[in-house]
Structure 1
Amino acid sequence: MSERKVLNKYYPPDFDPSKIPRMKLPKNRQYTVRLMAPFNMRCKTCGEYIYKGKKFNARKEDVENDDYLGIRIYRFYIKCTRCLQEISFKTDPKNTDYEIEAGATRNFMALKLAEEQAIREEEEAKEEEASNPMKLLENRTKQSKNEIELLESLEELKDLNRRQEAVDYDSMLLAYDPTISQREREEKLQQLDDEYVKTIKFQNSQKRKVVVEEEIIEDDEPEAKVSKPETPKTETASSEPKVQKKIVSARKMLSGLVKLKKDEPKKEEKPQTSGLSLLGAYSDSENSE
């Protein structure tokens, strides 16, 4: 079984390859090869669309009297899959591409033509700059102006990024989480508002002013006694002496203003006679008569 896989063949000692007869073939004969369509094309006869990569049994031949820097150029013949119209194209080693010759039109040629036009314009601009120094100076000034504009726009973007550094996007996303319902979001915001209001009230209660009430009691003694105000616990030690001074000054001012009432003898009250009593008395006098 191993003899089937041997690649080397046996050559007898008296083997002479020159004695093997040779076939006389034409110089430019065609070969049948299997290839794929190198680009998208459309048949001119029936309008059939042939996409890139479709496989064909093609005939290959050498292009006579035509090469590029010693590289041989080949021509291929295929047939349309619908109308069997013959389509021919050849290799293009200069542009590393293929060139359609007859039987079909190449699709999407606009991009290739645009690229070729751009390359041509670039070469013309280089030649003009080399021959005209004023054009070169003008192009350099335009380039420097564009660079300055780019730097200014870059600085503006950097400033904008610095301003947005303080923004906490994570907290914003958590606050506006789409998974949370609208009601839960409103309740959460209400809770935060209530906590903020409580903190403000607590701060205001610590800073409120203490009002000391004074009461004046009238006695038989010539001097009015003023009750001592109770100092609240919230009052600080630093404010105690000031409040005491104010209370003493108020006592002095009030002692001069208050006048005690003397005990006057009570006058005998006259009985008040009403109109009805007088009328009764008058009626009694008539009956007596």
Structure 2
Amino acid sequence: MGERKVLNKYFPPDFDPRLIPRRKIPKNKQIEVRMMLPFSIQCNACGEFMYQGKKFNSRKEDVMDEDYFGVKIFRFYIRCSMCSNEITFKTDPKNGDYATEHGCKRNFEQWREREADEAAILKEREEEEKGDSMKALENRTLDSKREMDIIDALDEIKAINQRHAKVDTDAILTKFKQVDDPAPSEHILDEAAIQAQMEAFRKRKLAPTESINVANKAAKSSSAGLTSDHTNNDVVVAPKPSIKIKAKTPKTNKIAALKPVKAPVVALVGAYSDSSGDSS
């Protein structure tokens, strides 16, 4: 089983490694690499957008006669996914990024513009301070003042956070509950006021019924011929007028009254016999 893994190789006694021909590797040899786009680009030929993270089968090679403080720079070759146009870009160790070379255009990125502006401001400041020591001193003073302001702001934020950390949420809720809920004495006073209002309303409601009773008594005394003065401090009501009730007359049927009343047959026979007796 040990021979199957080929862990050991046999070297004959007459083996001479100097006789093995050496293989020459070209300096600009390209290697097949599976990679993803490090940034979003647009093809110059067809205008196709290819976004960051899109996978390609690329070719990688070393850039000849170009490095950054001994750091090698690599070039990558890819093709457009729409028109197969060749696109190249290379590494940029100075800025820790990539730079486009041929066949494409990099999309706008705001953070890159901000970094470029900051670098330009820093370079301009260095040029100002190069021949003017007073300007350099002023800039350092402004920087120290700015740092002190930042430290003071941070200390204030820390103090506010510490005060907030000491606050007990349950105590605050209890305090607000006490403010919202009135005291028991206030409850009692409110109930007494409500009862007084109800009593006054009940008295106002009973006053009209009492005046009606007084008016009825006055009407009865006036009909009996008794004159008496009824005085009331609150309400004075006049006696009620007498009411005459007429008996309802039954309705007569006009058609029945116009029709002649027929006499019964027995009465007619009796009348005829009486008339015959008189004639005899």
Counterpart residue number, 1:18? 18
**Residues 233-244 of structure 1: pairs in structure 2 closer than 5 A:** none
SS at match of 1:113: helix
**SS of residue paired to 1:5:** coil
Residue 21 to residue 162, structure 1, CA distance change in 2 (3 Å): closer
> Equivalents in 2 of 1:23, 1:159: separation in Å?
71
The residue identity in structure 1 corresponding to 2:120 is R
Structure 1 letter corresponding to 2:80: C
Could you tell me how far apart the structure 2 residues matched to 1:166 and 1:30 are? Answer: 65
Amino acid at match of 2:86: E
Q: What is the correspondence of 1:57-76 to structure 2 with a 5 Å cutoff?
A: 57-76=57-76
Give TM-score scaled by structure 2 length: 0.51
The answer to whether residue 43 in structure 2 is matched with residue 43 in structure 1 is yes
Shift of 1:91: 1.9
How many angstroms does 1:170 deviate by?
2.9
CA deviation profile, 1:88-128 (whole Å, cap 9, x unmatched):
01122222322110111222443223213312322331342
Closer/same/farther in 2, CA of residues 198 and 151 from structure 1, 3 Å limit: farther
Q: How does 1:174-253 map to 2 (within 5 A)?
A: 192-197=181-186
Cα distance between partner residues in 1 of 2:168 and 2:37:
57
- Asked if residue 81 in structure 1 is aligned to residue 81 in structure 2, the reply is yes
Please state if 1:95 is matched with 2:95.
yes
CA displacement, residues 63-102 of structure 1 (integer Å, 9 cap, x when unaligned): 2222223333222111112221111011222223221101
In the alignment, the residues of structure 2 paired with residue 34 and residue 151 of structure 1 have an alpha-carbon distance, to the nearest angstrom, of: 48
The whole-number CA distance in structure 1 between the counterparts of 2:161 and 2:29 is 71
RMSD after superposition: 4.3
- Normalising by structure 1, we get a TM-score of 0.50
Are the structure 2 counterparts of residues 162 and 6 from structure 1 closer, same or farther at C-alpha, using a change threshold of 3 Å?
Answer: closer
Q: Relative to structure 1, is the Cα distance of residues 166 and 139 closer, same or farther in structure 2, using a 3 angstrom cutoff?
A: same
Structure 2 residue 109 is the aligned partner of structure 1 residue 129: no
Asked if 1:170 corresponds to 2:139, the answer is no
Counterpart of 1:117, as a letter, is D
For the residues of structure 2 that align with 1:143 and 1:60, how far apart are their CA atoms?
Answer: 45
Aligned with 2:66: secondary structure?
strand
**C-alpha spacing 1:121/1:25, structure 2 compared with 1 (3 Å):** same
Separation in 1, partners of 2:129, 2:21: 66
Could you tell me how far apart the structure 1 residues matched to 2:148 and 2:64 are?
Answer: 57
Q: Share of identical aligned residues, percent?
A: 49
1:99 counterpart SS class: strand
Task: Give the secondary-structure state (helix, strand or coil) at the position aligned to 2:35.
Answer: strand
The letter of the residue matching 1:113 is E
Q: Closer, same or farther in 2 for the Cα pair 1:51/1:156, shift >3 Å? A: closer
For residues 162 and 110 of structure 1, what CA distance do their matches in structure 2 show?
37
Q: 1:34 to 1:13 in 2, by over 3 A?
A: farther
Structure-2 separation of matches of 1:38 and 1:65: 24
CA shift, 1:141, in A, is 5.2
The alpha carbon displacement at 1:173 in A equals 4.0
Q: What is the one-letter code of the residue matched to 2:62?
A: D
Partner Cα distance (2:70, 2:154) in 1: 52
Structure 1 unaligned blocks of 5 or more? 177-184, 201-289
> Which residues of 2 match residues 144-159 of structure 1 at below 5 A?
146=146
Question: Could you say if the C-alpha distance between residues 5 and 97 of structure 1 is closer, same or farther in structure 2, counting changes exceeding 3 Å?
Answer: farther
Q: 1:3 to 1:146 in 2, by over 3 A?
A: same
Relative to structure 1, the CA distance from residue 8 to residue 98 in structure 2 (aligned partners, 3 Å threshold; closer, same or farther) is farther
Q: Aligned equivalents of 1:166 and 1:20: distance in 2?
A: 81
Aligned residue type for 1:90: K
- Cα pair distance change 1:130/1:67, threshold 3 Å: closer
